[in-house]
Structure 1
């Protein structure tokens, strides 16, 4: 492998943590990380994203919205409603498109995705356990209401954040770059 720098090493070291502990970064710590994550490539510097921090009882509201969106009832609905309780902090990644004649919506969504990925790397580097969770619920009206999204905003998913578990996450298999790189 070619010589790598700190960014490559951080990406190779990062693991998703499906189970995290009860501690989470403070809002002050998050703001510092967001200042860095927000420097991702952003055509026309529109900053078409926002992050919603969800803690405490707000996680219950999100869970109820997920259960409502699923149409499930009884124990299935209860199980879905508990999903946001898996971490002390959920960071909802929201695409907040800005009017632009030159930057398409898909490109603005890509910027929001880039911020989420950068933020997950920064949280991991800071010692937190992180997992990006998505699902069809992200586009449900009940979930949008629970997050207070505007009419043009879209939820991409949540970063579940908490203290890193003692147990190491599984090893990631390296990709075969040849399969993913072509030339014209």
Structure 2
């Protein structure tokens, strides 16, 4: 079995991680590999923003503002970005192009995000891609400093893999009934 197939089949989402996190140098090395996804037009229509320390709390505040919550519910939502020591915000950088539609540029950014989850997992990090109803809310975009044409795709919550509590295997085979042939 090939290394890529092995990594894909072994990948799990880690909803709980430890407080250990990859360094910026490690992340840059993994991004160099993840950035090799198919990219029609060579636009590199993506970027990644690392949120550590207080930046995660500011994201929590922006989520609460987007949700319009108060009290206990606001506190629960504000704490969600604190579940991992580093969050990697995946951003699609979309610009007009005569041959590369916006959806294709977002697909490229999503490809980088998915490949990055495989690379992080293979490097020994626990990772889970999270989104939610406020991912593209203006207050959340402002908290990330997004420019016109930039769209948040979600966050990779990254940290150490706990010694116990390995996530369950994924559901039964997913490809069955998903491949057809156009006659």
TM-score between both structures, scaled by the size of structure 1: 0.96
Q: Which runs of 5+ in 1 are unaligned?
A: none
CA distance in 2, matches of 1:21, 1:176: 30
Aligned match of 2:144 in 142, 147, 150?
A: 147
Q: CA deviation at 1:98?
A: 2.8
| Secondary structure, counterpart of 1:72 in structure 2 | coil
| Secondary structure, counterpart of 2:135 in structure 1 | helix
| Secondary structure, counterpart of 2:166 in structure 1 | coil
RMSD of equivalent CA atoms:
0.9
Answering whether residue 5 of structure 2 is matched by residue 11 of structure 1, we say: no
1:35-184 to structure 2, matched below 5 A, reads 35-166=32-163, 167-184=165-182
The question of whether the paired residues in 1 share the 8 Å contact of 2:95 and 2:149 is answered with no
1:17-60 deviation digits (Å, cap 9, x = unpaired): 00000010000000000000000011011010000000000000
CA distance in 1, matches of 2:179, 2:136: 32
| Secondary structure, counterpart of 1:138 in structure 2 | coil
Q: CA deviation at 1:173?
A: 2.1
| Secondary structure, counterpart of 1:90 in structure 2 | strand
Please say which of residues 174-183 and 134-143 is displaced more in the overlay: 174-183
Q: Which runs of 5+ in 2 are unaligned?
A: none
Q: CA deviation at 1:97?
A: 1.0
CA distance in 2, matches of 1:130, 1:81: 20
Number of residues of Structure 1 aligned to a counterpart in Structure 2: 181
Structure 1 outlier segments of 4+, above 4 Å: none
Q: CA deviation at 1:174?
A: 3.4
